[in-house]
Structure 1
Amino acid sequence: PSVTDRLAWLVRRARRPPRLRLLTNTGAALDPGTVAALREAIPTLRVQLMYGLTECKRTTIMPPDGDLERPGSSGRALPGTEVVAVDEDGTRLPPGEVGQFVVRGPHVMAGYWRRPELTAERFPRADGLFPELRTGDYGWLDEDGYLYFSGRRDDLYKERGFRVSATEVEAAARRVAEVAEAAVLTPGPRTGGRAVLVAVTPLDPADLLDRMRGFIEEYKIPRRCVPVAALPTNGNGKVDRRALADLVDAGAGAGAGAGGRDGTRARTRTEAGADDSVTTDRKG
C-alpha cells in the first residue's frame, strides 16, 4: 500500500498518464480511495487484488477489476488451496464471521528452519499429515468463498466492546480529501489504553474525526487524533510503529520530533511551526 500511495501521488503530478496496464497487490489492504484515484488518472489500468504471505505466497486471487463487483475482497482460493476462518479453538466458522485465516495446500511451506517450537505453533499437522498455516491474519469469507481481510492479530483491538480493525480505520481516514497518510496506534500502555489516530493533514484533529463519520461506523472512530508532518517509516517503507509512538509521546509532551530506527525523521505540527494543538480528545 505504501508503494501504491506513492504511485498515486506521482501520477497526480504527471503531465500525462503512464502506460500502465495492470496493478497487483498482495500485502495489506489497499485504500479504495487510492485505487479509485489511480483508475481515474490511468484509463488503461486494471487492478488485481490478492491475498498471501511469505509462508505460502499467493492464497487467493481476484479477477482483474473484480473488486468493482465485490469491494473489499481479495478473491477466491487458488485451485488445490483451502483457506478457512477459525475461532480461537480452531473451529471452522460459517460465512460472514471473523476469525483467523488457516491455509492448506501444496504451496504452504513445511516450517521454519531450525525453529521447531515456532513451526509447531504456526504449522500444526492436519490429521497428522499435512501442515496447515495459522496465518495470524483475521477476516472472513462469504458464501461464495471470497476472502475479506480485516487485519493482523495485532491490528485488531476492542473499542467500546466492539472488535475494530486498525487497517479499516486508517483507510477511512485516508478517504478524507485533506489526509495524505494515516496510521493507528492500537490501545496499550503507551496510548493510555485507547486507540490513537495519527495523520498527516492540515485539518484540525476534531474536524478530521468528524469527517470520518461518513466513511466508518461511529464506534470505530478513535477518540484521540494527533496530526504530524510525516509518518516515520522503516527500511521497507512501512510505518515504524515504535517510532510513531515515540513521536506521539514527544508531541504530546514537549512538542519535539522523534526519529525512526532507520533514521527517518518525522515532525509533529508543533515542531513544524503550526499554531494548532498536536492532540485532541473527542467528547462523547
Structure 2
Amino acid sequence: MALQPDPTPLPLDHLAERGNAPDPALVLRDRTLSFADLRSRVAALSAWLTTMAPEAGARVASWAAKGELTCLLPLAAARAGLVHVPINPLLKRAQVAHILADSGSVLLIGTGSRLATLEDGDVPPDCRLLEEGAAWDAVDGVTDRLAPSHADPDDLCAILYTSGSTGRPKGVMLSHANMWLGAVSVAHYLGMEADDVTLAVLPLSFDYGQNQLLSTWYAGGSVVPLDYLFPKDVVKACARHGVTTLAAVPPLWVQLTEAQWPEDAVAPMRRLTNSGGALTTDLVGKLQGTFPEARLFPMYGLTEAFRSTYLDPDLVASHPTSMGTAIPFAEILVIDDAGDVAAPGEEGELVHCGPLVAQGYWQDAQRTAERFKPAPAASHHGGIAVWSGDRVRRDADGLLYFVGRRDAMIKSAGNRISPQEVEDAALATGLVAEAVALGVPDERLGQAVHLVVRAVPSAANAGTDLPKALSRELPNFMQPREIHWRNAMPTNPNGKIDRTALAREIGA
C-alpha cells in the first residue's frame, strides 16, 4: 500500500518505533539490527548521552565512518533532548576545529585515528573526546533506557554544516519537524515500502545522506551503510544485499555506469535518486540502459530547506533537463526581480516556503537574514522562506528548469566547496600573497577546483611546498586539481582581483 504524506510531525526519535520488530532495520558489516534491536540500542544510547551531556539542547558531535554510531546518533541525540552535529569524516582537523568551536559541542565521539589528528587548541576546553569503541563499551554498561520522547517538533534537533560561498562552513539548524517531514515526503514520492533495502553510500553528515536512513526507516525498510573505495564495491553490495534503492550524485553515477553490473545486482533495483548536481541527457540514457526496470528520480535541494523538487520518472525521457515540481510539503515559487511571481518561461529566483524550511544558521544572524526572509506575498504558506539565490524558470506545464547560480560556490563530486575556504588555506601557508579558487568544468566531477596564486617573493620552493601544505590542511575533495602561478593578478577598476578575468583565462 502506498504511503500517504501525513503532515503531522513527530519527534525524530519516533522513527525507531516504526517497522515490524523482527524485520531488519540496519545491516552492519558484522551483524544485522532488527527494528526491535534498533529500539533497544537507541534507548540505551540516548540514556547514556544524558549522563555525558545532561544540559538540554547541548550539542554532541560525531566524526566517524558509517556504522552503528553514526546511524543511531541522529535518533538517540534527539531522544536525549540534545542536538546532533554530524561531521563529514572526510574533513580534516582545521575544519573540525571550526565546527567544534562554532557549534559549542560538549562531546565529540569519533574514530580513534581521526581524533589523534587533532592538535592543541583544536578542541574547546569544555568539549570531551571519546573514541567510538569506548563509547559503546560505556553504553553497554548502562542499565537505564529512555522511552520515546515527547519533544516539541519545533525544537532544534541537528546542526548540519555546509560550506558557504564566503567563509567557513555554516551550521544549518534543523528541527525535529524538518527532519521528520523530510523523511515522510521522500518516502511518499519515492513510493518506498517495508521490503525496500537502501544502500547508504552518501555521507551521513549531508541532509541527502542522512535522509537515506530516515526515509527508509519511516517506510519500515532496511538500510545498508557503505563506505566504498571503488565503484565495484557499490556493485558488489547491491548484489549481496538485494538493494532496491540507490542514491548518488552525478560524478558517482558516471563511475557506476562505467562498471560492470551483473544481473543479480540490477534485477532487485526499483529506484535511483540523484541530487547534488544535474544529470546530463547522456548520463540519463546510460542509467536507463543499465537499470531498465528502475525508476529514476532527479531531484533538486538545498540544505537550508532539505529538498525542493523532484522530476516524476515518467517525465525523465521527455524532459531530461527539468528539475520537476515541488515535493510534498514544499511550496516553490519563482520570483522575478520586482518581487512578483515570474510568468511562464521567465527567469526568477527559486524561493522555497513551507515546513521543510530550516531554522536559520547557528549563531549567525547576519547570514540568516540574508537567506531566510519573509515569504513572498503570493505564498500560500507564508512565514519565513529560503531565498535560494538560484535562478530558475517554470514552463507552461509547471515544470522547473535550472538557469544558474548567483553565488560562486564550487560543486565538485556532489560537495559544495567554499572558494574562500580554499583561498584562506592557501594564504595561511605563508607561501602565497594572493589566491583565487575557481571551479572549472570537469566531465567526472562536475567542477574541479583550480587555484590561481601569486607567490610571496621569499618562497623559493612554493611550487612544491604549497601542494604539500594544502594536502595537510584540506580534505581530499577540496584539493586543487591544478595550481596556476601568476607574477601578478588582474584587477578590476575598483582595484580588486578580477575573478571574471581569471575565470576566462583558465576556462572556468
Match of 2:369 in 1: 120
Aligned with 2:291 (options 15, 26, 42): 42
User: Structure 1 residues 197 and 144 mapped into 2: Cα distance closer, same or farther (>3 Å)?
Assistant: same
CA distance in 1, matches of 2:327, 2:252: 30
- Whether 2:468 is the aligned partner of 1:262: answer no
Aligned with 1:139 (options 392, 405, 412): 392
Match of 2:262 in 1: 16
Match of 2:276 in 1: 27
Give the superposition deviation at 1:199. 4.9
CA distance in 1, matches of 2:374, 2:439: 39
Aligned with 2:451 (options 245, 253, 264): 245
CA distance in 2, matches of 1:149, 1:266: 27
Aligned residues: 198
CA distance in 2, matches of 1:147, 1:100: 11
CA contact (8 A) 1:63 1:75 kept: yes
Partner AA of 1:48 in structure 2:
F
> Which digits, 9 at most, give the CA deviation of each residue in 1:50-103, with x for residues without a partner?
222111112222222422122311211134432122233433211111221111
> Which digits, 9 at most, give the CA deviation of each residue in 1:156-192, with x for residues without a partner?
9xxxxxxxxx99xx9xxxxxxxxxxxxxx9xxx999x
Between the aligned residues of both structures, percent identity stands at 32
| Secondary structure of residue in 1 paired with 2:322 | coil
CA distance in 2, matches of 1:198, 1:149: 17
Give the superposition deviation at 1:197. 5.7
User: Structure 1 residues 22 and 15 mapped into 2: Cα distance closer, same or farther (>3 Å)?
Assistant: closer
CA contact (8 A) 1:25 1:48 kept: yes
> Which digits, 9 at most, give the CA deviation of each residue in 1:22-43, with x for residues without a partner?
1112322112212211211232
CA distance in 1, matches of 2:396, 2:346: 11
Task: Output the TM-score relative to the length of structure 2.
Answer: 0.33
Match of 1:205 in 2: none
Match of 2:315 in 1: 66
Aligned with 1:111 (options 360, 382, 386): 360
User: Structure 1 residues 65 and 124 mapped into 2: Cα distance closer, same or farther (>3 Å)?
Assistant: same
Partner AA of 1:39 in structure 2:
Q
> Which digits, 9 at most, give the CA deviation of each residue in 1:123-170, with x for residues without a partner?
12236x6001101111111123211122321369xxxxxxxxx99xx9
Task: Output the TM-score relative to the length of structure 1.
Answer: 0.55
Structure 1 moving runs of 4+ over 4 Å: 195-200, 256-260
- Whether 2:152 is the aligned partner of 1:152: answer no
| Secondary structure of residue in 2 paired with 1:135 | strand
Please identify the structure whose Cα radius of gyration is greater: 2
Match of 1:210 in 2: none
CA contact (8 A) 2:350 2:392 kept: yes
Question: RMSD of aligned C-alpha atoms?
Answer: 4.2
CA contact (8 A) 1:101 1:137 kept: yes
Structure 1 unaligned segments of length 5 or more: list them: 157-165, 171-184, 201-229, 232-237, 248-255, 269-279
> Which digits, 9 at most, give the CA deviation of each residue in 1:221-256, with x for residues without a partner?
xxxxxxxxx97xxxxxx7453xx1349xxxxxxxx8
Q: Which has the higher contact order (CA 8 A, sep 6+)?
A: 2
CA contact (8 A) 1:72 1:148 kept: yes
CA distance in 2, matches of 1:47, 1:24: 6
User: Structure 1 residues 12 and 106 mapped into 2: Cα distance closer, same or farther (>3 Å)?
Assistant: same
CA contact (8 A) 1:48 1:66 kept: no
